[in-house]
Structure 1
Amino acid sequence: MAVNTMKVSAGDAYEVLKAGWEAQRSGAMQVSYMLHGRPGVGKTQVVAQLADAIGARLFDLRLTTIEPQDLRGLPYYDHDAQKTIWYRPEDLPDDIDAPSILFLDELTAASPYLQPTVYGLLQERRVGRHRLPDSVFVVAAGNTVEDGAIAYEMNTALSDRLIHLHVQAVASDWLDNYAVPRGLHPAVIAFIKTRADLLETTERALDQGHMIASTPRSWERVSQIMQAVPDRRVRNVLIAGTVGDAAAADFALIADDIAATVQVTEMLEADRKDRIALYPATMHGLNALIYGLIGILDRRNAEDAIDIMADIRQLSRLREDPEFKRMPLGELCTYGFEGLIRRGLELGIGEAFLATPAYRAYADERKAAGLD
């Protein structure tokens, strides 16, 4: 059964859930949400990001690993009252003051015997006699049968209890809102920047009968491999086992080029005359340099990082390499400064930009051209 709703990026899903939380906190609306999407597109990360943002305790229930009694609890006998009373399970939030998120993950893969127990949590916000406090925000997630994952069709009784969001991988959203803020390896970020088609290949892999697909989650694992495994041969085997041999081969070419040409630390330590010769003469290299500068930015190196970023727009004049004349250097510089400024504000060093002659010259140049 198709999920007939709008497809949204992980970043948009986060904004929708955050708005839903604000509406619930104000008393205007209290509903449950369902995140559909292929494995690895970022559904779990969206919920974890929301919990961090609102200061909520996250109760993450993997429904494939529990039985109905794990939600309802266990009975004991009150002989005085001559009643059976239920112990509430500890996995359900009961704090009436502190915000909590109840995340019912892998809902569509859960046993059909469990789903009726989940209905009460999603619609009535209760199971047995236990009611969820108003401070609890309820989100479920799961894959569909079409995703090649283990999944049951969601019946209409369950579907009607939810607001549905269909999450898909969008390269620009993943780069700006996840990969860069999380400090993923510059080679991974630069590669996806130019090969957005390889961020998520589940449908292609299913059509070709391949077991391994690339997903946002698997590219995060590639970043971990790049940072943890220095041996190139071993690293390439691990990456092929993570995103598939074809994507790994394409990535290896770019990663090798970046490793040979991108020298962020050396550029920060060099004077401007020597620094100009260190700029990589490829788009992949310049993208990796930009993300490397964003990742390494701090108060001590801010002025040098700003100088290096500002000179990108002038490389066709400062260097004789013909490659620079064919590159969109102005757009690269603008994109780089946007990321660098965003990171600077997060670090509380935004004032460093206004105090730097290179940034003021860049800003004046854009203003004169009517771009700001």
Structure 2
Amino acid sequence: MPENGEQQNFISLKTALRLIKADTSFQMQLIKNGQLPDKHTFVLYSLPGMGKTQGIREMVTDPQQLCVIDINAEFGGSLSMPISHVNEKEQTAQVLHALNASISRLKAHALEYSSIPHFLFLDEFNRGDEFMKQTIMQLLLENRLPGNSLPENVFVVGAGNTAENIFSDEAMIENDVNELDTATRDRINPLFIQLEPKEWLDWAYVNEVAPEVVDFIGSKSYHEQQELLYQPSKSADGTGATPRSWARLSSFLADPTIKNDPVLLRAAVFSMIGNDCGNQFLTYLTTGDPLDIFALLQKPDQEKFMQLSTGRKMAFFSSALRLVEQDLESENSRGYAQIFLNYLQTNDQTAVARFMHTQVETGVLEQKYPKTNVYLRKEPRFMQLVMEMSVNNI
């Protein structure tokens, strides 16, 4: 971290999204009361791959209320393109502006549902070319595009990387971004996102990231988790590790052809998280004792489970839910739900509390695993855990 102390207001992504959601709710209340809102334009800054875009998608549950534009992939003026129009009858000419199709759909939906907040998310907002720069600034500061104003219930949020490396002491490739002038910086609300391993692990538990990944990361110390989750590339064309790349590694681990072929697995892992992290992870897979979810369900061993680390227990609780749900849906159930409940009686209160928070309190269990939810809630032992969770949250 830089020693000059210029930026110390680092927050977690979860806190940033809570702030945006709370402020948006307040501004929408002003709009509903017929008052003029004082809209804030938030810009999320972080290292690459921290989950900013995914976080916004999860915050805005209805995809019709969100439009994500990757500015880095756009070309100058493509958000609102000028088109010459000649009225031959009146012999006059004017310039019209054709609105980006995705933004146009968001605008139409926002006009139809004016009591609901909508979001235009500008990813990599400060990487556009010079032709795009003024358009982006107008959108961030005035909530409008050339020739097109946005409804009051559309909120603009930006995300990108800082011009200087303020997040890490590690050497990084220089960020090629458009620096903001003083007047612009004074009119936006920058939120500097710091990597928080616990939050990422909670997200990973809920989103079924491969148990090998959450076990490997979760079993490390806090400092080691930080170093593994974000490890910058040492060359311009190299591969580094980010929270996003660790999550994406799950797709390779779910493919038996790749997972069971040492050559393919090595190539896949290195392509996703780089050599340093890749070597550590492969060592864990090949010489360690990887967590076997199937084995713990097929051959219950309470004593062995009790000996697992807290991180491994949490990895089991999150990864086993899909198997428990499938077992309840099958005609020949093998009793996985009861086995799962027995494991929940562990004396590891941290592991149980994290499960209850990430899966039960948030509603994930009910939404994603309805049969498991119904089964467990019929069990007094499980409802006792629910009651204890409620008491602790008072």
Please report the TM-score for the alignment, with normalisation by the length of structure 1: 0.79
Q: Distance in 2 between matches of 1:363 and 1:25?
A: 34
Aligned match of 1:293:
320
CA displacement 1:86-108 (0-9 Å, x = unmatched): 03222433221235321212122
Aligned with residue 60 of structure 2, among 41, 51, 63: 51
Partner of 1:215: 242
Q: Deviations over 1:138-169 (max 9, x none)?
A: 11111123343322322223323311111222
Task: Please give the secondary structure, in 1, of the residue aligned with 2:250.
Answer: helix
1:11 equivalenced with 2:14 (yes/no): yes
Asked if the contact 2:211/2:291 (under 8 Å) is kept, the reply is no
CA 1:126–1:294 in structure 2 vs 1: closer, same or farther (change >3 Å)?
A: same
1:194 to 214, 219, 236: 219
List runs of 5+ in structure 2 lacking aligned partners.
Answer: 32-36, 166-172, 329-335
The residue that corresponds to 2:96 in the other structure is: 86
Which of 208, 216, 219 aligns to 1:183? It is 208
Aligned to 2:341: 306
- Evaluate the alpha carbon distance shift between residue 131 and residue 179 of structure 1 in structure 2; reply closer, same or farther with a 3 A threshold: same
The whole-number CA distance in structure 2 between the counterparts of 1:158 and 1:34 is 12
- Secondary structure at the aligned position of 1:146 is classed as coil
Q: CA offsets per residue over residues 112-157 of structure 1, 9 Å max, x none?
A: 3321122221122122231001121211111123343322322223
After superposition, the Cα gap between the structure-2 partners of 1:65 and 1:290, relative to the gap in structure 1 and judged at 3 Å, is closer
Tell me the secondary structure at the aligned position of residue 130 of structure 2. coil
Deviates more, 1:162-171 or 1:27-36: 27-36
Contact kept, 8 Å, 2:356 with 2:386, in 1: the verdict is: no
For 1:36, the equivalent position in structure 2 comes to 45
87-96 or 292-301: bigger deviation: 292-301
Q: Could you list the runs of 5+ residues in structure 1 that have no partner in the other structure?
A: 314-328
- Cα separation, 2, equivalents of 1:85 and 1:101: 27
Q: Secondary structure at the match of 1:88?
A: strand
Residue 22 of structure 1 is matched in structure 2 by: 25
Q: 1:250 to 1:74 in 2, by over 3 A?
A: same
Instruction: Give the direction of change, closer, same or farther, for the CA distance of 1:65–1:265 in structure 2 (3 Å limit).
Output: closer
User: What TM-score does the superposition give when structure 2 sets the normalisation length?
Assistant: 0.75
2:34: which partner in 1? none
CA distance in 1 between partners of 2:249 and 2:298 (Å): 29
The offset of 1:351, in angstroms, is 5.5
Matched to 2:263, the amino acid is: R
What's the secondary structure of 2:48's corresponding residue? coil
Paired with 1:2 and 1:142, the residues of 2 have a C-alpha distance of 21
Alignment partner for residue 123 of structure 2, among 96, 105, 109?
105
Deviation of 1:359 (Å): 3.8
Partner SS state of residue 66, structure 2 = strand
**Distance across 2 between alignment mates of 1:4 and 1:185:** 35
Name the SS of the counterpart of 1:20 in structure 2: helix
1:300-352 per-position Cα deviation (integer Å, ceiling 9, x unaligned): 34332111222x43xxxxxxxxxxxxxxx443344445445344344455564
CA contact (8 A) 1:268 1:304 kept: yes
User: Aligned partner of 2:318: which letter?
Assistant: Y
Does residue 120 (structure 1) correspond to residue 138 (structure 2)? The answer is yes
Asked if the contact 1:102/1:139 (under 8 Å) is kept, the reply is yes
Show the counterpart of 1:237: 267
Task: Sort the Cα spacing of 1:132 and 1:188 in 2 relative to 1 into closer, same or farther, 3 A.
Answer: same
For 1:32 and 1:79, how far apart are their aligned partners in 2? 42
Identify which range, 96-105 or 30-39, moves more after superposition.
96-105
Specify the alignment match of 2:168 in structure 1.
none
Equivalents in 2 of 1:140, 1:132: separation in Å?
16
1:371 CA drift (Å):
11
d(CA) in 1 for partners of 2:229, 2:89: 60
**CA distance 1:252–1:157, shift in 2 (3 Å):** same
Q: Is the 8 A contact 2:42 2:158 kept in 1?
A: yes
How much does 1:67 deviate? 3.5
Output the CA distance in 2 between the equivalents of 1:309 and 1:199.
Answer: 29
Indicate the residue corresponding to 1:61 in structure 2: 69
**In the alignment, is the contact (CA less than 8 A) between 2:205 and 2:214 conserved in 1?**
yes
Structure 2 partner of 1:132 = 150
Equivalent residues, number: 345
**Matched position secondary structure for 2:177:** coil
Select 1:264's aligned residue among 280, 293, 296. Answer: 293
Task: Say if 1:340 and 1:256 are closer, same or farther in 2 by CA, change over 3 A.
Answer: farther
Distance (whole Å) between structure 1 residues aligned to residue 158 and residue 103 of structure 2: 14
1:325 aligns with: none
The percent of aligned pairs where both chains have the same amino acid is: 19
Q: How does 1:158-169 map to 2 (within 5 A)?
A: 158-169=184-195
Q: Cα distance, 1:8 vs. partner?
A: 1.8
1:128–1:18 Cα change, 3 Å: same
Over 3 Å counting, the alpha-carbon distance change for 1:226 and 1:240 in structure 2 is: same
Per the alignment, residue 72 of structure 1 pairs with 80
CA separation of 1:340 and 1:296: change in aligned 2, threshold 3 A: farther
Change (3 A) 1:330 1:254: farther
Amino acid at match of 1:201: Y
Partner of 1:320: none
Contact between 1:58 and 1:103, CA under 8 Å: does it hold in 2?
A: yes
Aligned-residue CA RMSD in angstroms?
3.4
Residues in 2 aligned to 1:279 and 1:4: alpha-carbon distance in whole angstroms: 44
SS in 1 for 2:191: strand
